[in-house]
């Protein structure tokens, strides 16, 4: 096999990626990966994003694929470079994000003989990959070999997308020499006419009522009903949940990551409401629950659902049939897309017939939830502050971001305290920002890189809401922002440590808690901003934050770290004051 053969086969592979709709690839430097890197970069229909760090490249690809819904290709060199992708691969697998991972490797004769930068890369990512292909050392670029490579590329893309989206891993052993010494000849086996893929994929039609799913929601009881919407990557799923709640007259409890916290039935502050045992007693139990998307972030909501009488019907709807039920309370499952059951605002549900009529909800019960939500909102605003002059605290930062950012903005939220504050304090908005987070595996690693990947999609401003430990963990990703000329606003809540741990039982262990768990770092993020060519804007009030957002989200603004300083102990006290204020407001006639 000559170097020309290698490049001809890789050129055909990259051509098919583009024909199948892949638009982006991420690369990192290395020797063994040279033919793949150059082949991706030379495919003009692909945007190739260059990264110094493989871990950053992996999470950048996750954020980009999460934002676009299209698979992103990633290539790395052999050895530990391939292992650096494991956290991103796990996040993509858990979050249903399509990726095509192209690890390059030493050929068989250099494995297990002490050759440098060589590890066992066969099925390196285990069960986190939907499919694995050891591509092997292909011989000459014959028509048969080229057909196989084109077919393999199509298979990788369609496998990443079909069913539950996820990761496809291809391991490519390559022999030296790795660089061409003469021009590459014309393709001996061009792709199919009209730019079609070598293997086309029939679009899987969204299951519709005519497919026999008209009974997926039937027979739902009339009266008290709840729709719980968790995180979803599916376009239209959130709007469908809101439309269904409105059509049925049911209560809608929607995680911000669902895209469903909209419409008149959305109860924004359910997390605060359900922390109050008195409210749970007064509001009573629903007659039925419909659950869509992933498990919601809110622990009080999960606890409420888990504590319902087992006789209450809890139906989980998921188009990919994923089992998200850690408490074991779901009684029925339907592998159908919710938007297939909602057509222009009409729901296929209990009693739905030619007239489109459905079993009505309980208007009085819905009104109780709405009144409680309004009371909670007032109590929260009075406790955390409101108006331009209000001093910033962590709940107020979350409330301001979700209330002030315009439609067309992407809000990427870190998976620790920020996502919990957004769930608790975000209002219901029909035109709110698209909210994303790495909540597949719920880790903090790669958060900045994933937000930059979302920014690379080029679909409006991106704002990252992040804590100091998470930013410090992924600070090197800012090098990619500068090298790739990307815009990103980082709203940093800096309390010098892991604030979330102060809410956990480990905080009582005073002898070692501060050093080993809270982990204060003392970093000066103004210096970090200077190091990576970013701007640094300290903010102290809600008005400061709004002004900084307006300035930093302008096109071409680059990277800006908007820093709000808070205190960990004071933050715990403030949250507890909020819960108490909400409970008091709810108990007041």
Q: Does 378 reside within a domain?
A: no
469-470-472 Cα angle (round to 5): 65
**Same domain for 481 and 343?**
no
Q: 169 and 218, same structural domain?
A: no
In the block, which residue shows the tokens 């957002």?
549
Q: Is 535 within a domain?
A: yes
pLDDT for position 351: 36
The pairing of beta strand 342-343 with beta strand 346-347: antiparallel
Co-location of 167 and 238 in the same domain: no
Per-residue pLDDT tens digits for 192-219: 999 999 999 986 544 444 444 445 566 7
Domain count, the chain: 3
pLDDT tens sequence across 403-437: 999 999 999 999 999 999 999 999 999 999 999 99
Would 541 be classed as within a structural domain?
yes
What percentage of the chain carries pLDDT values higher than 70?
93
Per-residue pLDDT tens over the stretch 17-28: 999 999 999 999
User: 168 and 156 in contact (C-beta within 8 Å)?
Assistant: yes
Average confidence (pLDDT) over 301-316: 95
The per-residue pLDDT for range 258-278, each reduced to its tens digit, is 999 999 999 999 999 999 999
For residue 196, being part of any structural domain is answered with: no
Q: What is the CATH number of the domain that holds 313?
A: 3.40.50.1220
Work out the number of other CB atoms within 10 angstroms of the CB of residue 426: 25
What does the pLDDT look like over 59-92, one tens digit per residue? 999 999 999 999 999 999 999 999 999 999 999 9
Quick check: is 226 in a domain?
yes
Q: How far apart are the first and last CA of the chain?
A: 82
Domain assignment present for 329: yes
Judge if 356 and 286 occupy the same domain.
yes
Secondary structure letter of residue 35 according to DSSP: H
Largest CA distance in the chain: 84
- Describe the crossing of helices 542-552 and 394-404 by its angle, rounded to 10 degrees: 50
- Can you give the residue range of the structural domain that contains 74? 3-178
Q: How confident is the model at residue 202, as a pLDDT?
A: 84
Residue 202 lies in a domain: no
Quote the pTM value.
Answer: 0.94
d(CA 337, CA 317): 7
Tell me: do 404 and 351 sit in the same domain: no
> So what's the pLDDT on residue 388?
95
Q: What is the DSSP letter of 182?
A: S
In sequence order, which residues have a C-beta less than 8 Å from that of residue 114 and are 6 or more positions away? Answer: none
In a domain, 197, yes or no: no
Indicate which CATH number applies to the domain containing 427: 3.40.50.970
Mean pLDDT of 474-494: 97
Angle at 320 between CA 319 and CA 325, to 5 degrees: 95
**Same structural domain, 365 and 416:** no
Sorted by sequence, the CB contacts under 8 Å of residue 109 that are 6+ apart come out as none
Are residues 365 and 411 both part of a single domain?
A: no
| Same domain, yes or no: 401 and 318 | no
**Is the domain of 419 the same as that of 499?**
yes
User: Phi and psi (nearest 5°) for 204?
Assistant: -75, 115
Give me the mean pLDDT over the 444-471 stretch. 96
Same domain, residue pair 294 and 222: yes
Quick one: 452 and 517 in the same domain?
yes
What is the model's pLDDT at position 209?
44
pLDDT digits (tens, 9 = 90+) for 381-399: 999 999 999 999 999 999 9
Residues 460 and 515 occupy one common structural domain: yes
* pLDDT of res. 220: 76
């Amino acid at each position: 096999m000559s170097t020309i053969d290698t490049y001809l086969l890789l050129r055909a592979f990259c051509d098919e990626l583009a024909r199948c709709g892949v638009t982006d690839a991420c690369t990192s430097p290395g020797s063994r990966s040279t033919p793949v890197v150059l082949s991706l970069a030379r495919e003009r229909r692909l945007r190739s994003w260059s990264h110094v760090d493989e871990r950053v490249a992996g999470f950048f690809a996750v954020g980009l694929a999460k934002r676009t819904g299209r698979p992103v290709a990633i290539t790395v060199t052999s050895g530990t470079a391939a292992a650096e992708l494991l956290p991103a691969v796990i996040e993509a697998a858990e979050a249903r994000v399509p990726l095509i991972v192209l690890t390059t490797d030493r050929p068989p004769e250099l494995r297990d003989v002490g050759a440098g930068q060589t590890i066992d890369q066969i099925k390196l990512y285990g069960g986190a990959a939907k499919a694995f292909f050891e591509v092997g050392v292909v011989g000459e670029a014959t028509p048969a070999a080229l057909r196989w490579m084109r077919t393999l590329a199509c298979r990788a893309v369609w496998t990443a997308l079909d069913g539950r989206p996820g990761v496809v891993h291809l391991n490519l052993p390559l022999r030296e020499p790795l660089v061409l010494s003469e021009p590459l000849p014309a393709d001996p086996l061009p792709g199919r006419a009209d730019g079609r893929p070598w293997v086309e994929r029939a679009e899987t039609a969204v299951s519709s009522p005519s497919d026999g799913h008209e009974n997926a929601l039937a027979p739902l009881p009339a009266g008290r009903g709840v729709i719980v919407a968790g995180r979803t990557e599916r376009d239209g799923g959130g709007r469908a949940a809101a439309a269904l709640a409105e059509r049925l007259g049911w209560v809608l409890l929607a995680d911000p990551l669902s895209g469903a916290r909209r419409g008149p039935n959305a109860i924004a502050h359910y997390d605060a409401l359900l922390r109050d045992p008195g409210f749970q007693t007064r509001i009573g139990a629903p007659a039925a629950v419909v659950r869509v998307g992933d498990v919601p972030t809110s622990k009080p909501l999960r606890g409420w659902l888990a504590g319902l009488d087992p006789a209450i019907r809890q139906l989980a709807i998921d188009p990919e049939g994923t089992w998200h039920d850690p408490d074991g309370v779901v009684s029925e499952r339907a592998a159908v897309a919710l938007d297939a059951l909602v057509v222009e605002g009409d729901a296929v549900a209990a009693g739905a017939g030619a007239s489109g009529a459905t079993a009505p909800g309980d208007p009085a019960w819905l009104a109780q939830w709405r009144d409680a939500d309004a009371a909670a909102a007032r109590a929260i605003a009075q406790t955390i502050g409101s108006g331009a002059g209000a001093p910033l605290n962590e709940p107020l930062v979350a409330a301001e971001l979700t209330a002030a950012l315009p439609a067309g903005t992407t809000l990427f939220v870190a998976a620790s305290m920020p996502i919990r504050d957004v769930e608790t304090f975000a209002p219901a908005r029909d035109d709110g920002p698209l909210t994303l987070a790495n909540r597949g595996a719920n880790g903090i690693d790669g958060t900045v890189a994933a937000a930059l990947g979302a920014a690379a999609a080029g679909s409006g401003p991106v704002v990252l809401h992040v804590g100091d430990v998470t930013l410090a963990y992924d600070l090197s990703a800012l090098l990619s922002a500068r090298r790739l000329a990307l815009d990103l606003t980082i709203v940093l809540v800096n309390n010098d440590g892991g604030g979330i741990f102060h809410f956990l039982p480990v905080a009582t262990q005073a002898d070692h808690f501060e050093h080993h768990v809270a982990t204060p770092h003392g970093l000066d993020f103004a210096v970090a901003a200077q190091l990576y060519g970013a701007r640094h804007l300290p903010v102290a009030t809600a008005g400061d934050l709004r002004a900084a957002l307006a300035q930093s989200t302008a096109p071409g603004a680059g990277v800006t770290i908007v820093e709000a300083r808070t205190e960990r102990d004071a933050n715990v006290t403030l949250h507890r004051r909020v819960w108490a204020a909400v409970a008091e407001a709810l108990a007041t006639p």
